[in-house]
Structure 1
């Protein structure tokens, strides 16, 4: 299969744009990515648009606004993994020779719901019993604290770190640093989570232009290569689920590391799905950045800071950058690519050569998560 590279990226600052439509949100990120790649949009072979809650055909709505209609457009829904699943599909298309260039879009407008938790499917029996995402992750946190002695201060330090990173990211929704005391004293949402340990909802878009290696080198001297692209689905169980070990991410990480020919020690930075503070801690262990039960000490020592052992969520992650669901996976890839190019200013991970992007999609009874997309990039 052909090598695949990223030649252009773009995104808009995540935030709340209640007056804007999906097309309004999407086209500026696409325009930015095309300009970054130096490619005419009419040269694109296909487009893949990831969105969870944007209605029918968001890809056509965005590209139609730009006069780029007519190419094959695939709209992908996979909850929070929507645009990273779209990225996976685009990578496969280029690897197989179906097209030489492809556009990936992630877009979402959550202000349309007026606030509150993400709407889940009422036919799901856990949702019928009152399950919402903050409650689900809160149960994971309480179990982990019970089993491994994680403290409330260690849990809060994830938010402190990511808010500090987000303060250096002009595209982040939340750009004010916070202290541990401020995190712990903010409004209680679902014990042990306070408000500042939950990702903000909002609106946003991100875009990526991909090409095969030969085409990529015609457009830029510094393409970033996709070394691994994995999409895993959850394994359904009606019985006990170990809420402290995200099985789907462990399995996907193994696939991605094998495909890329690397291990955890080779990763310089990782954008992981920190929808709530406990999630980032669980993913330290799932990706092998630290041992089982060691995540609290890992963040406390600064091992996941920008200048630590592995920089986790240098963008600010979902906790600071925001989480417009369908846009998140593409935005993670944008951050990794910019880091590997050395374009991230004060939040730059020095000498970064290998980066990882990880987005899960959940909210279904019987599953750890429903989907998990992992991509590994390198210079």
Structure 2
């Protein structure tokens, strides 16, 4: 396998953007990515991977990427006849797009590949359409399977399963059941979840692309409107729109590029996917499997990682993923967060972007927005939220739901440019 580098990234502002369509968001992210590479157009791109979950609910069920990029081809901004592969994997969609582009380059099949994720989940005049987008992330063919699973897990957690989804979607209820189980088994507290939420909002307040750019105290996070106990609104990711992208190249292609590009190139040390299953409540999640594979392929371990972006659809997820990814023992995620170690200035900063709970979560774009944030950090370009410890970074992104697992999980390890 060849070395692969990320030479450019982009991320639109996340938020409720009803005036912008899918094509608008795709254009914004793509052109910003070209600008980050210093390119006037995408002529060097040989392959593209387009990630999206919800466009089918707006009537475009197939050839989504091709439709969004047709105006860009017509204007000469995206090269003609370049193949584009459409990807969908729930909230892990954009990471799957990046994984596809990475494989193209690592295998030697391509020298330059684009990954882009685009999503709209805010539909002000049709909230049922928003719900339809999210319902696609769980088995709709045999719902009795997960109803039975959640009833059993709810009894173990001391939190009965609410078929109506508690806070509006079944996903918030399932996250809440996992949190309740973790609290019962390991002694994790609502205050620790609130500390994670407060920390992420503090980071998001420093991110000009974040959907929520305000701080939330621990006390306010605890007192906020309950979504599904123990999760409050401040501890949960909001609905919103956005797009993100990245350009990946081989080491040979990078060597032919200008010095200004080479000195900002971020190396992909590993890109790994794993699949979910109906697991026992005390069985490790699929991100532990993906992380161990990623560490093995990169020749690294948790001690080598300087900062993280993790999939905190709720702030409990940050606590859980710190355990699954090897940064804390099972049950140790809450105390780690409470210690302040995961805040800006701590020894292991987590979600300096603000995470999903503050930056926002346009599902098909989220994974690439993580790569954008980590690239900024590894290049030393993150401004007020820049960490001092930025050599090796990890992104964890989960998508869809199978029981207490996600349906799919991506773990990506990145290394700072040699000039850093």
| 1:258-269 map, 5 Å | 258-269=296-307
Residue 241 of structure 1 corresponds to which residue in structure 2? 280
Inter-partner Cα distance in structure 2 for 1:330 and 1:57: 20
Residue 412 of structure 2 corresponds to which residue in structure 1? 375
Inter-partner Cα distance in structure 1 for 2:34 and 2:67: 17
Inter-partner Cα distance in structure 1 for 2:384 and 2:328: 26
| 1:86-165 map, 5 Å | 86-112=97-123, 114=127, 118-120=134-136, 121-123=139-141, 124-125=143-144, 129-131=163-165, 132-165=170-203
Residue 96 of structure 2 corresponds to which residue in structure 1? 85
Change (3 A) 1:15 1:125: same
Q: 1:183-215 deviations in whole A, cap 9, x for unaligned? A: 111111101111111100100000101100121
**Contact conserved, 2:52 with 2:93, CA < 8 A, in 1?**
yes
| 1:312-327 map, 5 Å | 312-327=350-365
Residue 13 of structure 1 corresponds to which residue in structure 2? 13
Question: Aligned with 2:414: secondary structure?
Answer: strand
Q: 1:65-98 deviations in whole A, cap 9, x for unaligned? A: 2122421000100001111011111100001111
Gaps of 5+ in 1: none
Residue 289 of structure 2 corresponds to which residue in structure 1? 251
Report deviation, 1:221. 2.4
Report deviation, 1:233. 1.0
Change (3 A) 1:197 1:246: farther
Report deviation, 1:62. 2.7
Question: Aligned with 1:303: secondary structure?
Answer: coil
Match of 1:74 among 72, 85, 88: 85
**Contact conserved, 1:108 with 1:205, CA < 8 A, in 2?**
yes
Inter-partner Cα distance in structure 1 for 2:348 and 2:144: 39
Q: What TM-score do the two structures reach when normalised by structure 2? A: 0.86
Match of 2:63 among 46, 54, 57: 57
Inter-partner Cα distance in structure 2 for 1:211 and 1:125: 45
**Contact conserved, 1:163 with 1:175, CA < 8 A, in 2?**
yes
Q: 1:82-121 deviations in whole A, cap 9, x for unaligned? A: 1101111110000111110011001100013537653245
Inter-partner Cα distance in structure 2 for 1:4 and 1:94: 7
Report deviation, 1:307. 1.5
Instruction: Could you list the structure 1 runs, at least 4 aligned residues long, displaced by more than 6 angstroms after superposition.
Output: none
Residue 159 of structure 2 corresponds to which residue in structure 1? none
Inter-partner Cα distance in structure 2 for 1:285 and 1:30: 35
Gaps of 5+ in 2: 57-61, 148-162
Q: 1:161-183 deviations in whole A, cap 9, x for unaligned? A: 00000000001001110111111
Query: Is 1:168–2:169 an aligned residue pair?
Result: no
Inter-partner Cα distance in structure 2 for 1:246 and 1:198: 23
CA RMSD of aligned residues (A): 1.6
Residue 262 of structure 2 corresponds to which residue in structure 1? 221
**Contact conserved, 1:93 with 1:99, CA < 8 A, in 2?**
yes
Report deviation, 1:328. 0.2
Q: 1:128-178 deviations in whole A, cap 9, x for unaligned? A: 644500000000110111111112111111110000000000010011101
Inter-partner Cα distance in structure 2 for 1:285 and 1:181: 25
Q: 1:211-251 deviations in whole A, cap 9, x for unaligned? A: 001212314122100000101111x34xx6226x6520000
Query: Is 1:28–2:67 an aligned residue pair?
Result: no
**Contact conserved, 1:84 with 1:330, CA < 8 A, in 2?**
yes
Question: Aligned with 2:340: secondary structure?
Answer: coil
Residue 59 of structure 2 corresponds to which residue in structure 1? none
Computing the radius of gyration from Cα coordinates, the structure with the larger value is 2
Residue 150 of structure 2 corresponds to which residue in structure 1? none
Count of equivalent residues:
374
Residue 348 of structure 1 corresponds to which residue in structure 2? 386
Match of 2:345 among 300, 307, 329: 307
Question: Aligned with 1:134: secondary structure?
Answer: helix
**Contact conserved, 2:178 with 2:404, CA < 8 A, in 1?**
no
